[in-house]
Structure 1
């Protein structure tokens, strides 16, 4: 079986932008790659001065419960390590699917794009989840 959930996984690069980690998800993500990403991001936060994580999902057209759970786990782990997580570039179909799956992501903030996500992380931490909108 060939597809996003089988075969050899290519690691997702994690870029460092000052005290923010930037993760850009490919359109298709293997289960093993998603689990490795959780480990990589958590380790990088724990061993650096990271205060925020931006996960760019603009290339992701389809999300399933597994990917939703991994995103929630990244955000929860980051929060426990004193970093905030922002999902950037969510497609409307992905938002609808997350709602239909009943996946509440309370640890995740959202922004329309990476620039707005970085701006959001530069602000003082809000008391609850937030949604960054356009001007």
Structure 2
């Protein structure tokens, strides 16, 4: 399943009960909000987790950090988890230097590692 396609929109793939959004370019504020809405609506329909793959993102500003945290909060309220995969070291350093936390988010080095988080959870 994919989110509504359009200029600047991020496709969302459903793999079982996990949603995967791979961000391949810098997002405008509008695109970030559209992604938040898409993921929240799709998570409410029964997903137990969300993976946001951001290896293609060079900059995470305070607005995008807030949107990612809000996605995690919404997913957590629906008994799910949110994992951000592929964050570049430079992005992580910048977030720390700016004092921006990503509350409610787990991180993984890659999409494969993020999916392993959910496989481990299912195995418990």
Query: What residue is the counterpart of 1:90 in the other structure?
Result: 87
> Is 1:81 matched with 2:60?
no
Report deviation, 1:10: 2.0
> Which residues in structure 2 correspond to 1:9-48 (within 5 Å)?
9-47=7-45
Deviations 1:51-94 (A, max 9, x none): 11000000011111011111111111110111100000010010
SS in 2 for 1:124: helix
User: Within 2, Cα distance between the matches of 1:104 and 1:30?
Assistant: 20
User: Within 1, Cα distance between the matches of 2:81 and 2:68?
Assistant: 12
Match of 1:99 among 76, 96, 100: 96
Paired residue total: 117
User: Within 1, Cα distance between the matches of 2:87 and 2:102?
Assistant: 13
Report deviation, 1:9: 4.4
Contact 2:19–2:49 (8 Å) recurs in 1: yes
Contact 1:9–1:32 (8 Å) recurs in 2: no
Query: What residue is the counterpart of 1:51 in the other structure?
Result: 48
5+ residue gaps, structure 1, are 1-7, 126-135
Contact 2:32–2:67 (8 Å) recurs in 1: yes
Report deviation, 1:105: 1.8
Contact 2:86–2:108 (8 Å) recurs in 1: yes
**Root-mean-square deviation over aligned CA pairs:** 1.5
